[in-house]
């Protein structure tokens, strides 16, 4: 028998439930007890049945009625054996019921981006034990023509590796900017070099990435896909990685994402720095003009010899859609609106590149015809277009267009709501979400539900989103909190180069693990996770497990977007 709880805890007025797993039916009694001994409430145990995501037999105990703030645990007494001699009870981890239960973790989730800064020293004052010297500040070799360009410093390291990639960088910055736009009053002060300059710290941190993204734009308005070494570095500190930085070719995805984030940035920063906002507006328009002249997909594949992340994507309709949505909000130009209408309409089939159509794998890939309008990932950004449209001031976009996105959010949210009732851990995510970076999908589903709740007022969507938060913070079959430094059993061994080489035992706090992956690709995970294991269990807290336990800026950022609501 095990009792799984959110290891941070629950908000007082929310639904609250713990998951009990056992070999056979628990016939004893469960109690919610306060740590100070003043409260002891008997809870009823209800059967869920067998849960396919985890392989567990599940019972639940609901304690939603307990709303008093405090520190609690759940205790189960097995009195099923005759003789009356009670065995020692099974206890859950101690957790809080508190209005502010997610505030500290929210702050660390944002502060994480400071640790990911590239091209500057991280002094002890801001980085504590994780301080290190400046990195990746040498000259840049342009792949296209072999030209040696000045250093292109700045931005965040992408993930456990030290690459910097345009599409995931733009998406991560977007999650933070939308989080700020929707919940500005909740965004905390951080301790970063810019703190106290009169600009909210989440915007200060985000600007560090935006300044670098602007450098990734070519004179013709297009954007380079990535800036990385040729191969991944060994597990060394970033300043020890002195391999040549290479600027790889452009892609239409990178160009459109850059146009979108620059337009969004221009909108948000104009209150604080008009010159910076104007620079971004120009960049957005240049990207748009380039893409208008290049309507076909400009894909990206790693050139021979290059083995860093590919971030390949076969479809740029969603990136273009997001760009036109943000541009229209900025410029009000009817041509931008027309393009957005065209791209988000039904009469817009994908234009997969000929080499893909000719490949025998094409059918297996099962690529979609229509653009998903709710996804917020690195490769599919239709949901970012959606957020741009549905959260715009009334009358910005025509009603029919708003309805297209509104309906997409509601439909997706309804299907997620159904799922949350079908699995024992109440996770609102389809089974096929357990891929590399599943926690991004978990948070994406939560963000979709929250958006739908804003649109409809349906609080059931909020409850379902909150269940995903509980899953992330430890109410899962592995009893693992997937955020470092938060929760009784937080993962500790991320696939992250600085963590493995900085000589500090604990990883820095606020890192989100990629999470369970039903198709692990790395040796350590494959060695211990049996083929066909239940998806929620396909995880290994091991530094070598890049496909289940890496970290990435866009996994943190989507988590920031969700926690901004609950913090």
Contacting residues toward Zn ion, per CB under 5 A: 118, 135-136, 238
The tokens for 526 are 């494959």
- Three-class secondary structure assignment of 136-197: CCCCEEECCCCCEECCCCCCECCECCCCEEHHHHHHHHHHHHHHHHHHHHHCCCCCCCCCCC
Residue 238 binding target from ligand 9MR, Zn ion, none, CB below 5 to 8 Å by type = Zn ion
How far is residue 515 from each of residues 332, 464, 471, 474, 550, measured CA to CA in Å? 41, 19, 11, 12, 8
Q: Which of 157, 495, 522, 542 is catalytic?
A: 495
Q: Is 510 in the site for ligand 9MR (CB under 6 A)?
A: no
Asked if 128 and 191 count as a contact pair (C-beta separation under 8 A), the reply is no
Q: Is 550 in the site for ligand 9MR (CB under 6 A)?
A: yes
Q: Is 520 in the site for ligand 9MR (CB under 6 A)?
A: no
Q: Is 507 in the site for ligand 9MR (CB under 6 A)?
A: no
Write out the binding residues for ligand 9MR, residues 131-170 only, by CB under 6 A.
158-159, 161, 163
Q: Which of 93, 316, 326, 541 is catalytic?
A: 541
Please confirm, yes or no, whether 161 is among the known catalytic residues: yes
Q: Is 522 in the site for ligand 9MR (CB under 6 A)?
A: no
From 325, 483, 552, 564, residue interacting with ligand 9MR (rule: CB under 6 A): 552
**Choice between 163 and 507, CB closer to ligand 9MR:** 163
Helix (H, G, I), strand (E, B) or coil at 128: helix
Write out the binding residues for ligand 9MR, residues 391-450 only, by CB under 6 A.
436-437
The minimum distance between CB 241 and Zn ion, in angstroms, equals 7
Residue 135 binding target from Zn ion, ligand 9MR, none, CB below 5 to 8 Å by type = Zn ion
Closest C-alpha to 206, from 194, 223, 221:
194
Closest C-alpha to 19, from 57, 47, 61:
61
Write out the binding residues for ligand 9MR, residues 292-331 only, by CB under 6 A.
309, 311
Sequence-distant (6+) residues with CB within 8 A of 555 are: 437, 439, 440, 443, 512, 513, 514
Please confirm, yes or no, whether 541 is among the known catalytic residues: yes
The minimum distance between CB 157 and Zn ion, in angstroms, equals 6
The minimum distance between CB 119 and Zn ion, in angstroms, equals 6
Please confirm, yes or no, whether 550 is among the known catalytic residues: yes
Compute the distance between CA of residue 220 and CA of residue 226 in angstroms, rounded to an integer: 17
> How many other C-beta atoms can be found within 10 angstroms of the C-beta atom of residue 142?
17
Beta bridge partners of 20: 3, 59
Positive or negative, the CA dihedral 324, 325, 330, 331 is positive
Residue 309 binding target from ligand 9MR, Zn ion, none, CB below 5 to 8 Å by type = ligand 9MR
Asked if 437 and 514 count as a contact pair (C-beta separation under 8 A), the reply is yes
How many residues of this chain interact with ligand 9MR, rule: CB under 6 A?
A: 11
Per CB under 6 A, which region of 178-186, 341-349, 356-364, 546-554 contacts ligand 9MR?
A: 546-554
The minimum distance between CB 511 and ligand 9MR, in angstroms, equals 12
Compute the distance between CA of residue 472 and CA of residue 479 in angstroms, rounded to an integer: 10
Compute the distance between CA of residue 560 and CA of residue 557 in angstroms, rounded to an integer: 5
The minimum distance between CB 440 and ligand 9MR, in angstroms, equals 7
The minimum distance between CB 310 and ligand 9MR, in angstroms, equals 6
Kindly list the residues in this chain that would bind ligand 9MR in the complex (CB under 6 A). Answer: 158-159, 161, 163, 309, 311, 436-437, 546, 550, 552
Catalytic residues: 161, 495, 541, 550
């Amino acid at each position: 028998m095990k009792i799984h709880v959110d290891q941070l805890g629950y908000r007082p007025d929310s639904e609250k439930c713990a998951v009990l797993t056992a070999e056979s039916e628990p016939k004893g009694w469960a109690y919610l007890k306060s740590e100070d001994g003043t409260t002891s409430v008997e809870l009823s145990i209800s059967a869920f049945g067998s849960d396919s995501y985890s392989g567990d037999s599940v019972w639940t105990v609901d304690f939603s009625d307990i709303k008093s703030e405090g520190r609690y645990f759940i205790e189960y007494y097995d009195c099923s054996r005759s003789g009356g001699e009670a065995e020692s009870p099974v206890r859950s981890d101690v957790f809080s019921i508190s209005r502010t239960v997610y505030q500290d973790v929210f702050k660390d989730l944002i502060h994480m981006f400071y640790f990911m800064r590239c091209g500057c020293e991280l002094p002890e004052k801001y980085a504590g034990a994780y301080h290190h010297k400046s990195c990746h500040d040498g000259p840049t070799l342009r792949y296209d023509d072999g030209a040696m360009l000045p250093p292109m410093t700045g931005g965040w390291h992408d993930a456990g590796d030290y690459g910097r990639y345009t599409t995931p960088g733009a998406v991560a910055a977007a999650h933070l900017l939308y989080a700020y736009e929707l919940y500005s009053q909740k965004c905390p002060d951080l301790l970063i070099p810019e703190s106290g300059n009169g600009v909210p710290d989440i915007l200060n941190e985000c600007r560090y990435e935006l300044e670098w993204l602007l450098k990734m734009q070519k004179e013709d308005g297009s954007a380079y896909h990535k800036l990385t070494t040729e191969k991944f570095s060994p597990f060394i500190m970033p300043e020890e990685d002195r391999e040549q930085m290479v600027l790889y070719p452009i892609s239409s995805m990178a160009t459109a994402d850059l146009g979108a984030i620059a337009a969004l940035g221009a909108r948000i920063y104009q209150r604080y720095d008009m010159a910076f906002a104007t620079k971004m507006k120009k960049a957005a328009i240049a990207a748009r003009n380039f893409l208008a002249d290049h309507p076909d997909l400009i894909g990206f594949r790693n050139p021979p010899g290059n083995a860093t992340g590919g971030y390949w994507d076969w479809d740029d309709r969603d990136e273009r859609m997001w760009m036109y949505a943000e541009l229209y909000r900025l410029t009000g130009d009817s041509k931008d609106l027309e393009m957005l209408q065209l791209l988000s309409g039904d009469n817009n089939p994908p234009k997969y590149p000929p080499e893909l159509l000719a490949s025998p794998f094409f059918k297996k890939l099962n690529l979609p015809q229509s653009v998903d309008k709710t996804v917020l990932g690195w490769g599919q950004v239709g949901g970012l277009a959606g957020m741009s449209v549905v959260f715009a001031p009334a009358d910005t976009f025509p009603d029919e267009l708003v309805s297209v996105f509104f309906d997409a959010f509601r439909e997706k949210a309804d299907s997620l709501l159904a799922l949350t009732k079908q699995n024992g851990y109440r996770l609102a995510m389809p089974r096929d979400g357990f891929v590399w970076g599943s926690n991004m999908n978990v948070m994406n589903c939560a963000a979709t539900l929250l958006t739908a709740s804003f649109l409809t007022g349906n609080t059931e969507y909020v409850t379902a989103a909150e269940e995903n938060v509980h899953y992330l913070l430890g109410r899962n079959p592995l009893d693992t909190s997937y955020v470092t430094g938060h929760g009784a059993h937080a993962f500790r061994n991320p696939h992250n180069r600085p963590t493995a080489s900085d000589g500090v035992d604990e990883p820095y706090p606020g890192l989100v693990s990629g999470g369970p992956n039903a198709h692990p690709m790395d040796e350590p995970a494959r060695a211990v996770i049996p083929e066909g294991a239940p998806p929620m269990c396909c995880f290994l807290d091991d530094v070598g497990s890049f496909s289940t336990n890496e970290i990435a800026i866009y996994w943190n950022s989507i988590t920031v977007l969700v926690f901004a609501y609950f913090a």
